[in-house]
Structure 1
Amino acid sequence: MSTVSNIASTAQTPTFGYGENTVRSIKKTLGSDDFMKLLAVQFQSQDPMKPMEDTAFIAQMAQFSALDQSSSMVKEMALLRADQQTLTASGMLGRNVTVEDADGLPVTGQVSAVESTADGPVLVIDGVRYPVSSVQRVEYTPPVYPSTTADLPPAA
């Protein structure tokens, strides 16, 4: 017997064979490939004397197109968010920031580098990496200009 809790959860179908009892999980959501397969099956199994109305077909194609565009937009928004986080982190280079460490204590120091990780950009302060989300305060650090040409680094 199959059990289905609700649309958002997985359905589990027991499969029986030579004394074994296994459970197969079914995907939670339908994707664009699933939609196209359902549409193809619908065309194959429709009554030739009563074909699908043009308006119904157009409505289904419009729904599919909207679903596809929504999926693309979600992916693009995720990329935009990652780019914005990197831009925000790079704007903190050379600034004095206060971050929260793993123990919840504030740590203040100058950002010496920004590194990209799978979880997003991290700030390097005194050799320790902190996620951008741990920033509590950013202070303006005025630039220091050399007072004489003797203070300038040698030309390359």
Structure 2
Amino acid sequence: MSIDAITGTVSAQAAAAAAAAQAAAPKQAMDSEVFMHLLVTQLQNQDPSSPMDTNEMLSQTTQLAMMEKMTELTTTSTENFSLQMRIAASAIVGQTVSYLGPDGKTVSGVADSVSFKNAVPTVSVGGKDIALDLLAGIGKLPVTVPPATS
């Protein structure tokens, strides 16, 4: 028995098969497109002598509409939460904040600025960027009263 040499090239047929398998990978979540495809397939394959009950079809259409509205509600809720985080982070600027440092000790400083480039806003404290959800406390700057001169 002979052993063939291993080559680093992939045949066009193998590449096409891999692409088809990737394209045919099932979706992890049902969306309206999948739901509508199932409904159309069901209608195409129904027995002409025993068509789908109109009440059942109406029920499925209602379920599709409800699913689309739930998806819209989820999107709106996510956007609302993101906006609330941005507002909260903006309100922190100029205040004293505390967070746990890498050594596990509490570090305090004044929040200089806020960045929104990541999903979670970051607050700059003494030149170090701290994620908003890692802050341990927030307080007002202490009021300094100049010493009385006599």
Category of TM-score, reference length = shorter chain: 0.7 to 0.9
TM-score of the two chains, using structure 1 as the length reference: 0.71
Tell me the secondary structure at the aligned position of residue 70 of structure 2: helix
Q: Once the two structures are aligned, what percentage of the paired residues are identical?
A: 22
Q: Answer 1 or 2: which has greater helix percent.
A: 2
The structure with the largest strand share of the pair is 1
d(CA) in 2 for partners of 1:101 and 1:68? 44
Contact 1:101/1:130 (<8 A) preserved: no
Instruction: Compare relative contact order (CA 8 Å, sep 6+) and give the higher one, 1 or 2.
Output: 2
Q: Deviations over 1:95-123 (max 9, x none)?
A: 01111234433210111101102231110
**Which structure 1 residue ranges, 4+ long, deviate > 3 Å from structure 2?**
none
Structure 2: gaps spanning 5 or more residues: 1-12, 145-150
Cross-structure match for 1:40 = 40
Structure-1 residue corresponding to 2:100: 100
**CA RMSD of the aligned region, Å?**
2.3
Q: Assess if the C-alpha contact under 8 Å between 1:98 and 1:106 holds in 2.
A: yes
The yes-or-no answer on 1:128 pairing with 2:128 is yes
- What is the number of equivalent residue pairs in this alignment? 126
Please give the alpha-carbon distance, in whole angstroms, between the structure 2 residues aligned to 1:143 and 1:32. Answer: 57
Code of the aligned partner of 1:37: H
Structure 1 regions of 5+ residues with no counterpart? Answer: 1-16, 145-156
TM-score for the superposition, normalised by structure 2: 0.74
SS in 2 for 1:107: strand
